[in-house]
């Protein structure tokens, strides 16, 4: 190991490394568990106190004890997570041991390791998500780390070199390469690798069960579930039913999906062209793209009745029109889809007996609701009129739409329909489907999202957890499954204007408070549009979008040739500044520089403040046999350099070159 790498670090350099690592680790608090974040803060605080007090660094024995405590804490977290070593814990372990390395950092070699590991920690920021602000932050901190690395190895550069302009020039030189490789380097269909995520990571959004209050809990969250942009004019809120799951089984307390989803085939694939969405949809259909946030669930959200999608390899579709990804969504994904809006159209399909029995299945209990539905079955022959009778019950009685309904008894449907009259969408959907089944009308519960905020600046919909909703579907012979939203009978404003418009009093204020005030709406929409554009054009630039772009320019079958030609062109362009710099070099100054180099080889270096004539006299005194040639060359150089005219012609330069050759011959004959 060289002496330079063993150089002890100055106090200021220790502080520089500590601040650098703190900035690198700060964004990790977004994803790391609170206990792990506190551990990292404690280790950093310990290092800061030692630096502040100029105290000696801890011994290796103490560091070994601390390392064992860190490993023990990690083992406890792994055990708590059921034996899963997730990516968050892996990142936390890396961060903890980099801090421990900082606690034993004494020489330049140790500082080099800490700086290199800081780059790895910056890369781990992208394992969870890749928002626009994080890209800017990581580039800024990466430049800071590079600056620190330069100062560690060349402390004299602090006062002699403009570091930030140098880094800026380096970035500008690399920018064309980065853009070219981003656009044209072959994209992969799947990631090269993926770290496992621990099971302790919470699942968000709609779940595969529904109980009283389950959707009401989501309403209080403004977290974005997904964003969508579609072709054509914006749709009214009443048309925005984003379907997720069908719930069939009811045990008297909660609804749930089938134990095994009825996946029968791969999801129909929507053919892509060079545009962001598919070719124009037929009448009665709509094309759109969805950017779904991580939910740790496998189901996808499609508008109304989805019929096809693309961008999700190996996606599956059930008999009930549900769409599923091949694995839980643990990162933001984007897919394109097509849906139809023809509800209740004439249909020749018949409901299979097994499905009819499933859609009429009811648990024991709720005698008053059963009696009411039985009267409808006896007195109303038309199933659709029974549907209307149930809706008239909700619309005619004093039912209220509220986030804080009173608790229900053991007979939930009876308690809600005849006693409390207060509930949220899941109360109305659940009770309605129960009444329909008891009246002999096949029915089922559908969960998903309804509505969404239309961003007029970004021209896309923002669907939040607060837009979670539950509705019903009934089977009508000759029409098929028909959507019925019993919530609209009680609070039609919920469907037309959103959940905050349907609530009253303090509840409405609480929900509206979750949204940004009106005077900040445009700013919020602008920022959301920026984030969505980043997701859409940068993060979701996959192989399909790359090939669509190349097809648009007729280059999809020549990608290898274009890639090689582009790299060669960039290499040649990168050499142009060097060639221009060489061309701009003064030939007169170039010959004098060679004169100085020749003398330096013999041990006579020119001083920084030494003039040409003084240098020639010093060299001539040491080399008498070369004195005439030295004085002749210097006199000619001074005349051409400082005399009139200032510009040297070809003949003068030739004479100076001959004088330089005489100098070289004379000093070599010494």
Range 34-38, long-range pairs (CB < 8 A, 24+ positions): 35/73, 35/77, 36/77, 36/88, 36/89, 36/92
Same domain, 472 and 561: no
Whether residues 109 and 120 fall in one domain: yes
Average pLDDT estimate for 69-78: 85
The 8-class DSSP code of residue 208 comes to: S
Q: Are 227 and 463 in contact (CB under 8 A)?
A: yes
- Select the more confidently predicted residue: 440 or 508: 440
Residues 259, 402, single domain; the answer is yes
Distances (CA, A) of 141 to 19, 41, 115, 147: 11, 19, 12, 10
Asked if residue 1 is part of any domain, the answer here is: no
125, containing H or E segment: none
Comparing C-alpha atoms, which of 276, 184, 90 is closest to residue 546?
184
Note whether 479 and 352 are within 8 A (CB): no
The percent of residues in the chain predicted with pLDDT above 70, rounded, is 84
Instruction: Please say whether the beta carbons of 3 and 100 come within 8 A.
Output: no
Task: Provide the domain limits for residue 631.
Answer: 585-668
pLDDT of residue 277: 44
How are strands ordered across the β-sheet holding 316-318?
Answer: 263-266, 316-318, 323-324
Q: Is 539 part of any domain?
A: no
Look at residue 169 and tell me if it is in a domain.
Answer: yes
What gap in Å lies between CA 570 and CA 577, rounded to an integer?
12
pLDDT of residue 39 exceeding 70, the answer is yes
Examine the domain organization and report whether 363 and 483 are in the same domain.
yes
User: How many whole angstroms separate alpha carbon 516 and alpha carbon 661?
Assistant: 79
What pLDDT, on the 0 to 100 scale, is given for residue 263? 64
Q: How many CB atoms lie within 10 A of CB 152?
A: 19
For residue 111, tell me if it sits in a domain: yes
Range 73-98 burial, b when 16+ CB lie within 10 A, else e? bbeebeeebeebbbbbbbbbbbbbeb
DSSP code, position 235: P
Report the Cα–Cα distance between both ends of the chain, in Å, rounded: 41
Separation of alpha carbons 28 and 93, rounded Å = 12
The domain boundary, picked from 583, 599, 631, lies at 583
Is 376 a member of any domain? yes
For 290-336, what is each residue's pLDDT tens digit?
Answer: 999 888 899 999 998 899 998 888 899 988 889 999 888 887 888 99
Do 430 and 574 belong together in one domain? no
Model confidence at 492, pLDDT cuts 50, 70, 90, reads low
Predicted confidence band at 656 (pLDDT cuts at 50, 70, 90)? confident
Query: Does residue 503 surpass a pLDDT of 80?
Result: no
Q: Which of 485, 500, 528, 540 is catalytic?
A: 485
- For residues 576 and 595, membership in a common domain is answered with no
Q: Are 270 and 344 members of one domain?
A: yes
The predicted structure's pLDDT at residue 268? 86
Q: Radius of gyration (Cα) for the chain, nearest Å?
A: 37
Residues 428 and 496 in one domain: yes
The rounded mean pLDDT for the chain is: 82
Active site annotation includes 469: yes
pLDDT class of 251 with cuts at 50, 70, 90:
very high
Q: Would you say residue 194 lies in a domain?
A: no
| Angstrom distance (rounded) from CA 414 to CA 419 | 7
Of 583, 601, 631, the one marking the end of a domain is 583
Encoding tokens for residue 160?
């002699």
Please tell me the distance from the alpha carbon of residue 90 to that of residue 196, in angstroms, as a whole number: 10
Asked if 339 and 480 sit in the same domain, the reply is yes
Residues 288 and 436 in one domain: yes
pLDDT tens figures, 175-218: 888 888 888 887 765 555 555 554 444 566 788 899 888 887 78
CA contacts within 13 A on the Cβ side of 550: 21
Task: Compare 502 and 388 and report the one with higher pLDDT.
Answer: 388
Give 365's Cβ-side CA count (13 Å radius). 14
Spatial neighbors of 490 by CB under 8 A, at least 6 apart, are: 394, 395, 399, 400, 401, 428
- Is the pLDDT at 1 greater than 50, yes or no? no
Q: What span, in angstroms and rounded, lies between the C-alpha atoms of 121 and 125?
A: 7
- How far apart, in Å, are the Cα atoms of 385 and each of 35, 399, 474, 495? 58, 21, 12, 22
Number of domain units in the chain? 4
Is 165's pLDDT higher than 80? yes
> pLDDT: is 353 or 517 the higher one?
353
Where are any strands of DSSP class E within 159-296? 209-210, 224-230, 241-247, 249-250, 255-256, 263-266, 285-292
Asked if residue 68 is part of any domain, the answer here is yes
Q: What is the reported pLDDT for 604?
A: 85
Within a domain: 4: no
Which tokens belong to 328? Answer: 């839980």
Residue 162 confidence (pLDDT) = 79
Q: Is 506 a catalytic residue?
A: no
Max mean pLDDT range (14-23, 118-127, 607-616): 14-23
Question: Which residue among 88, 105, 272, 425 is the active-site one?
Answer: 425
For residues 489 and 518, state if they share a domain: yes
Residues 266, 405, single domain; the answer is: yes
Does residue 450 sit in helix, strand or coil? strand
Report residue 268 CA to chain centroid gap.
28
Please report, rounded to a whole number, the percentage of residues in the chain having pLDDT higher than 90: 31
Q: How confident is the model at residue 585 (pLDDT cuts 50, 70, 90)?
A: low
Residue 330 bears catalytic tag: no
Specify the pLDDT at position 275.
44
Token digits of residue 474: 């009934």
Show which of 175, 192, 218 is a domain's final residue. Answer: 175
Residues 211 and 447 sit within 8 Å (Cβ to Cβ) = no
Residues 337 and 268: their CA atoms lie apart, in Å, by 10
Task: Give the pLDDT score at 495.
Answer: 54
Q: Which of 474-488, 577-591, 627-641 has the lowest mean pLDDT?
A: 577-591
How high is the pLDDT of residue 390? 93
Neighbouring CB atoms inside 10 A of 506's CB total 10
**245: DSSP letter:** E
User: Tell me: the pLDDT tens digits for 352-367?
Assistant: 899 999 999 999 999 9
CA distance 324 to 266: 10
Stretch among 251-260, 271-280, 518-527 having the lowest mean pLDDT? 271-280
Could you report the per-residue pLDDT of 99-140, keeping only the tens digit for each?
A: 999 999 989 999 999 999 999 999 888 887 788 888 899 999
């Amino acid at each position: 190991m060289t002496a330079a790498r063993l150089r002890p670090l100055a106090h200021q350099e220790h502080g520089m490394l500590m601040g650098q690592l703190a900035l690198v680790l700060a964004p990790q608090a977004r994803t790391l568990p609170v206990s792990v974040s506190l551990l990292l803060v404690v280790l950093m605080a310990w290092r800061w106190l030692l630096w502040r007090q100029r105290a000696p660094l801890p011994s290796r024995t103490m560091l070994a004890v601390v390392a064992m405590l860190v490993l023990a804490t990690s083992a406890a977290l792994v055990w708590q997570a059921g034996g899963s070593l997730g990516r968050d814990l892996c990142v936390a372990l890396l961060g903890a041991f980099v801090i421990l390395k900082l606690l034993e950092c004494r020489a330049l070699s140790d500082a080099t390791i800490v700086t290199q590991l800081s780059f790895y920690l910056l890369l781990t920021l992208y394992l969870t998500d890749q928002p626009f602000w994080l890209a800017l932050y990581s580039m800024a901190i990466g430049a800071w780390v590079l600056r620190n690395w330069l100062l560690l190895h060349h402390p004299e550069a602090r006062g002699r070199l403009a570091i930030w302009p140098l880094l800026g020039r380096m970035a500008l030189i690399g920018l064309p390469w980065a853009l070219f490789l981003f656009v044209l380097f072959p994209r992969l269909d799947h990631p090269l690798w993926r770290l496992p995520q621990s099971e302790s990571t919470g699942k968000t959004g709609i779940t595969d069960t529904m109980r009283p209050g389950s959707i009401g809990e989501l309403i209080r969250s403004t977290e974005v579930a997904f964003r969508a942009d579609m072709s054509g004019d914006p749709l009214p809120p009443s048309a925005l039913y984003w379907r997720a799951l069908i719930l069939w089984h009811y045990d008297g307390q909660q609804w749930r999906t089938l134990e095994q989803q009825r996946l029968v085939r791969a999801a129909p694939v929507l053919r892509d062209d060079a545009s962001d969405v598919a070719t124009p949809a037929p009448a009665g259909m709509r094309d759109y793209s969805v950017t779904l946030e991580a939910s740790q669930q496998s189901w996808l959200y499609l508008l109304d009745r989805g019929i096809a999608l693309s961008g999700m390899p190996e996606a599956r579709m059930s008999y009930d029109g549900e769409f599923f990804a091949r694995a839980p969504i643990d990162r933001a994904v984007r897919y394109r889809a097509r849906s139809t809006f023809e509800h209740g159209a004439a249909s020749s399909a018949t409901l299979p007996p097994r499905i009819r029995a499933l859609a009429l299945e009811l648990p024991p209990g709720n005698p008053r609701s059963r009696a009411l539905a039985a009267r409808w079955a006896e007195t109303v022959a038309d199933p659709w009129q029974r549907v209307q009778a149930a809706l008239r019950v909700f619309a005619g009685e004093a039912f209220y739409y509220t986030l804080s309904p009173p608790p229900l008894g053991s007979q939930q449907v009876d308690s809600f329909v005849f006693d409390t009259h207060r509930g949220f969408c899941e109360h109305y959907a659940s009770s309605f489907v129960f009444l329909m089944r008891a009246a002999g009308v096949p029915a089922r519960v559908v969960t998903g999202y309804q509505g969404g905020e239309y961003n007029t600046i970004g021209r896309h919909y923002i669907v939040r957890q607060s837009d979670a909703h539950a509705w019903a579907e009934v089977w009508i012979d000759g029409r098929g499954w028909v959507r019925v939203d019993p919530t609209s009978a009680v609070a039609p404003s919920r469907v037309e204007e959103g959940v905050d418009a349907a609530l009253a009093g303090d509840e409405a204020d609480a929900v509206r408070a979750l949204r940004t005030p009106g005077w900040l709406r445009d700013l919020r929409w602008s920022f959301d549009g920026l984030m969505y554009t980043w997701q859409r054009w940068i993060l979701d630039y996959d192989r399909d979008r790359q090939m669509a772009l190349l097809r648009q320019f007729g280059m999809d079958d020549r990608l290898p040739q274009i890639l090689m030609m582009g790299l060669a062109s960039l290499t040649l362009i990168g050499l142009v500044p060097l060639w221009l710099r060489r061309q701009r070099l003064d030939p007169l100054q170039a010959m004098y520089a060679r004169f100085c180099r020749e003398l330096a080889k013999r041990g006579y270096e020119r001083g920084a403040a030494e003039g040409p004539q003084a240098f020639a006299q010093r060299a001539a005194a040491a080399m008498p046999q070369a004195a005439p040639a030295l004085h002749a060359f210097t006199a000619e150089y001074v005349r051409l350099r400082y005399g009139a005219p200032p510009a040297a012609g070809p003949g003068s330069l030739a004479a100076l070159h001959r004088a330089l050759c005489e100098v070289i011959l004379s000093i070599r004959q010494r």
